[in-house]
Amino acid sequence: MSAKLKSNKKRNTRVVKDARTMKPPFVLFLGNVQDPLAAKSTTGLLYWRRKDCIGQVRMSDCQVPIDLPSIDLAEAVRLGAKTFVIGVTNHGGKLGPSWKPYILKAINYGLDIASGLHDRLSDVPELVAAANKTGARLLDLRHTDIPIPKATGLKRQGRRLLTLGTDCACGKKFTALAITRDMKSRGINCTFRATGQTGIMISGEGFALDTIIGDYIAGAAELLSPSNEPNHWDVIEGQGSILHPSHAGVPLSLLHGSQPDAFVLCHEPTRLHMLGITYPIPSIAAVREATEYMGRLTNPNIRCVGISVNTSAFQGDISQLKQQLSKEHNVPVIDPVIDGTNEIIDYMHSIGLLTE
Amino acid sequence: MSAKLKSNKKRNTRVVKDARTMKPPFVLFLGNVQDPLAAKSTTGLLYWRRKDCIGQVRMSDCQVPIDLPSIDLAEAVRLGAKTFVIGVTNHGGKLGPSWKPYILKAINYGLDIASGLHDRLSDVPELVAAANKTGARLLDLRHTDIPIPKATGLKRQGRRLLTLGTDCACGKKFTALAITRDMKSRGINCTFRATGQTGIMISGEGFALDTIIGDYIAGAAELLSPSNEPNHWDVIEGQGSILHPSHAGVPLSLLHGSQPDAFVLCHEPTRLHMLGITYPIPSIAAVREATEYMGRLTNPNIRCVGISVNTSAFQGDISQLKQQLSKEHNVPVIDPVIDGTNEIIDYMHSIGLLTE
């Protein structure tokens, strides 16, 4: 049975679960966000869909600077805005009570509301009532109505690349999007596959794995990267870390369901502890070994094809860091923001994984 | 935030989530079950709480023989029955539509209804309406209202033993219950910790991990086996197999959250393929190695203390099988139904894990 299907039944019919219907252009709502990490849906949309973002709305105590004009909703509507996007991903995915007047105002302007929070817009009667009046749609993108089967582990046609990390929030989504962009620009047949709310906002499809019951995560990964043409690549956004004691089961299920031919390891070199806990960041070698060891179950040929470092906070010599890691791990090392990912694609070519 | 708390809110207030309130004696309802595996809640209750089971109710096409008198509900109530237990665990955890008249009849006799299904009794308006009339309580034991935090990975006081397996349904619950019984009879301070619906019915507490969102499973395991006296043992019921491609993330999270000092590997020697898929059963050595490798993250001293074989379908020489496995893996090998688990407890003693 589908665990997800069940959890959404009997909800308001105006609620839309299909992220592909998030219509541009967007107004990005920052709320009162204090931490840049919590604004990652906004910064993600801004980087990958800049031309669809016409302005931002923020509360007076919002602390995160965003390079987008502040906009008045009346003006946004005049400029053709279609969707008011809640661009905040706070701890716990809570809908801030102080945001409600802003959301209501947007609904009253007839804008759709898109949210990647755990809390559902459709659980707030006031928002549902207002949306029913103006015809605005409430898009709870983190939740889906698509039935998810249990994983079979059967080999599927087509190729798959998965990004993994030494921690959460270290560049897995960005790296997967950059690889997809760079593969496409070289004419490689490929698709980005989102597994979190920001990736879904950017690509318009996918499953937020952190809302799925444990037994069905590998099944969601199988559904996400279905059988395809032999030379097609799914570039799958990883989640968490396989050596993170809070949630390693989620990346393990994603690894099994994705059955990747290739993986790229993402790492933030300045971080000392894994997010949210007191454990030190595991070594790249340890995560690579655990990934290969556990990944062989559904793809005996799994191999690491690169390391992606997020050097945004790194104070040392970036070239030296990359050279050292590359020598140590014998794969290309890139910062996707600075370098793009062509070195990884070249490497995949050189080892026969890609035949462009 | 609590994923579980959220999913249950706004439900009928008569619904009871606390399994500890399942009042004996029980009438066991078999429905039209065709497969002995699907009757495991019934057989589990019958084995471990026989004196609380006063009779069975079954439909005419039920194919599974159960050693318990068939009983009429009026008679059951005269004998003091308090709870009508749906003793079926079918694929998908569906509430059979043909069972409804039986459940309604039991409600009308004033009996509580207990269910370990995914489908909730409290989602069936007809049952809720009837229960509201007679004062019967609807116990959806597979679901909980207890808030589950994310796991921290922090070391907790007390000792823990986890059962794991080469597959699903190969004796993990039975083995954990048998170890708890045998430890208690030797005066060892210990508690059985249930992680599935049948275990919850038997012990009166626990979490059904297969209804929990992936990110919170390790947190549920931490909550399940909290800090305790230094010499107290939690004996934790395992789930699935860490080498099963459909759901390995669940046992991995359970392993991390349980941080076991000791584990017992459960195995069904006649099975060729893992349940539900075409993959062959992994070797005991492979599961043991993967468990130690991944388990070291939260307990560097994790070690295997025994192998539990389910020989109920085995046609060969059981003594020879056990000797061979024991020689191969260098730990005691028992069939807990035939031998009990004292050999494992003795072994834990001999290696200094137990100091009775």
Express each pLDDT in A85-108 by its tens digit. 999 988 778 999 999 999 999 999
Confidence of residue B20 (pLDDT cuts 50, 70, 90): low
Q: pLDDT tens digits for A168-183? A: 989 999 999 999 999 9
Point out the residue among A214, A256, A276 whose CB comes nearest to the CB of B214: A214
CB atoms within 10 A of CB A153: 22
Q: How many CB pairs under 8 A join A and B?
A: 141
Instruction: Summarize the confidence of residues B296-312 as an average pLDDT.
Output: 98
Query: In the numeric block, which tokens belong to residue A83?
Result: 């969707």
Tell me if A218 and B243 make a contact (CB, 8 A cut-off). no
Instruction: Summarize the confidence of residues A215-241 as an average pLDDT.
Output: 97
Instruction: Summarize the confidence of residues A41-61 as an average pLDDT.
Output: 95
Residue A223 has what pLDDT?
A: 96
What's the mean pLDDT when you consider all of chain A? 92
Q: HSE of B141 in the Cβ direction (CA atoms, 13 Å)?
A: 31
Which of B246, B283, B294, B297 should be substituted to probe chain A, the one whose Cβ sees the most A Cβ atoms within 10 Å? B246
> Residue B267 and residue B273: Cα distance in Å, rounded?
12
Residue A2 clears pLDDT 60, i.e. is over it: no
CA quadruple A118, A123, A125, A130: dihedral sign: positive
Residue B6 has what pLDDT?
A: 37
Q: Residues of B with CB below 8 A from A276's CB?
A: 150
A303 CA to centre of own chain: 22
Residue B316 has what pLDDT?
A: 97
**What is the chain A residue with the closest CA to B276?**
A152
Residue A20 has what pLDDT?
A: 59
Q: Residues of B with CB below 8 A from A278's CB?
A: 152-154
Total residue count of chain B as it appears in this document: 356
Work out the minimum CA distance from B193 to partner chain A, whole angstroms.
19
Most confident of A7-21, B29-43, B164-178: B164-178
B150 touches chain A (CB under 8 A): yes
| B159-350 topology per CATH | Rossmann fold (3.40.50)
Q: pLDDT tens digits for A300-335? A: 999 999 999 999 999 999 999 999 999 999 999 999
Residue B14 clears pLDDT 60, i.e. is over it: no
In chain B, CATH 3.40.50.300 covers 159-350
B250 touches chain A (CB under 8 A): yes
A30 touches chain B (CB under 8 A): no
Tell me if B215 and A248 make a contact (CB, 8 A cut-off). no
Q: pLDDT tens digits for B1-10? A: 333 333 333 3
Say if residues B223 and B207 touch (Cβ distance below 8 Å).
yes
Q: pLDDT tens digits for A108-129? A: 999 999 999 999 999 999 999 9
Residue B18 has what pLDDT?
A: 55
| A3-140 topology per CATH | Rossmann fold (3.40.50)
E-strand ranges in chain B read: 26-31, 53-58, 83-86, 112-115, 138-140, 159-165, 190-193, 233-236, 262-267, 303-309, 333-334
Tell me if B278 and A118 make a contact (CB, 8 A cut-off). no
A289 touches chain B (CB under 8 A): no
Instruction: Summarize the confidence of residues B42-61 as an average pLDDT.
Output: 95
Lowest mean pLDDT among A6-15, A117-126, B284-293: A6-15
Q: pLDDT tens digits for B198-253? A: 999 999 889 999 999 999 999 999 999 999 999 999 999 999 999 999 999 999 99
Tell me if A219 and B250 make a contact (CB, 8 A cut-off). no
Question: For the whole model, what pTM was predicted?
Answer: 0.93
Tell me if A249 and B214 make a contact (CB, 8 A cut-off). yes
Confidence of residue A355 (pLDDT cuts 50, 70, 90): confident
Q: Is the peptide bond before A300 cis (omega within 30 degrees of 0)?
A: no
Q: Residues of A with CB below 8 A from B280's CB?
A: none
A256 touches chain B (CB under 8 A): yes
Tell me if B218 and A256 make a contact (CB, 8 A cut-off). no
Confidence of residue A149 (pLDDT cuts 50, 70, 90): very high
**What is the chain B residue with the closest CA to A251?**
B249
Tell me if A219 and B246 make a contact (CB, 8 A cut-off). yes
Work out the minimum CA distance from B295 to partner chain A, whole angstroms.
10
Lowest mean pLDDT among A17-21, A197-201, B157-161: A17-21
Residue A35 has what pLDDT?
A: 86
Tell me if A150 and B246 make a contact (CB, 8 A cut-off). yes
Q: Residues of B with CB below 8 A from A223's CB?
A: none
In chain B, CATH 3.40.50.720 covers 3-140
Instruction: Summarize the confidence of residues A228-247 as an average pLDDT.
Output: 98
Point out the residue among B153, B209, B246 whose CB comes nearest to the CB of A153: B246
Q: DSSP characters for B241-300?
A: -TT-TTTTHHHHHHHHHH--SEEEEEE-TT--B-TTSSPBPPPHHHHHHHHHHHHTTT-T
User: In angstroms, how far is the first alpha carbon of chain B from the final one?
Assistant: 40
Residue A19 has what pLDDT?
A: 53
User: In angstroms, how far is the first alpha carbon of chain A from the final one?
Assistant: 40
Q: Residues of B with CB below 8 A from A210's CB?
A: 213-215
A217 touches chain B (CB under 8 A): yes
Tell me if A276 and B7 make a contact (CB, 8 A cut-off). no
Residue A21 has what pLDDT?
A: 72
